[in-house]
Each structure stands twice: as structure tokens, then as C-alpha cells.
Amino acid sequence: MKLKSFHNQKRCKNDSTWLRNLEDCEVYICETSAQVFVDCCKKTFVLLGPCESSAFIRDCEDCTIWCAAQQLRTRECKRCKFYVYSSWAELSKMPLFHIVSMLVSFVLQRC
């Protein structure tokens, strides 16, 4: 398993964060981001720290996503698990996913 970690990157606050084409990885984004895009990832664990606007998860397979965001938007994900803390989640478009709405602050504190 590969480990990709983004700790204490001050640049994230006002920028978008992009994760693309990751496979069998663990990613921890522990700083506030403006928005996050996770595209075409497989068998990857992703923890997204506070996101000021939207987190977009697209075309992912067999991933586990922990997310704290204003909005969560997904498209064409397969066999993914989402652990979400959000003021609004587009749940109607995620009928096949295992979604658990929960606070993730204790996980984010580990970063």
C-alpha cells in the first residue's frame, strides 16, 4: 500500500485540492481546503479535512472516503463507503452506497 499524505500545507486554504488516478493508497488531507476533487481512484482510503465548499468524488471504485464539507457530490462511484459530516449531502444521487452520517472530528484530530 502506498501512503500519500498532505499535512500542514498552508496553500490548501484558498486553493482546490485534486487527487487523481490513485490506486491502493491512503491520503490524509488535514488542512482546510477551498474545495476538493477526487477522481478515478481505486482501493484508496481518503480522509478529507474541513472543506469550505464542495467535495467532488467522481469515477472511484472500492474506496473509503471520510469527508467534512459543506457539500458532497458524487458521480459514477462503485462499491465506495462514505463517512460524511456535511451541512448538505446529495444523498438522492447515491442510492447504491453505504453512507453513514457521523461526526469525524475525532479522526481529523489525529492529523
pLDDT tens, residue by residue, 35-82: 999 999 999 999 887 888 889 999 999 999 998 888 889 999 999 998
Per-residue pLDDT, 14 = 56
pLDDT at 21 over 70: yes
Residues in the chain: 111
Single pTM value for the model: 0.72
The candidate with the shortest Cα–Cα distance to 77, out of 87, 67, 88, 86, is 67
pLDDT value of position 69 = 85
CA distance 80 to 54: 18
Predicted confidence band of residue 102 (pLDDT cuts 50, 70, 90): very low
Picking from 104, 99, 96, the residue whose alpha carbon sits closest to that of residue 81 is 99
Q: How many H helices and E strands in the chain?
A: 1, 8
Instruction: Say what the pLDDT of residue 38 is.
Output: 95
User: In this structure, what DSSP letter does residue 11 have?
Assistant: G
Grid cell of 18 as nine digits: 485534486
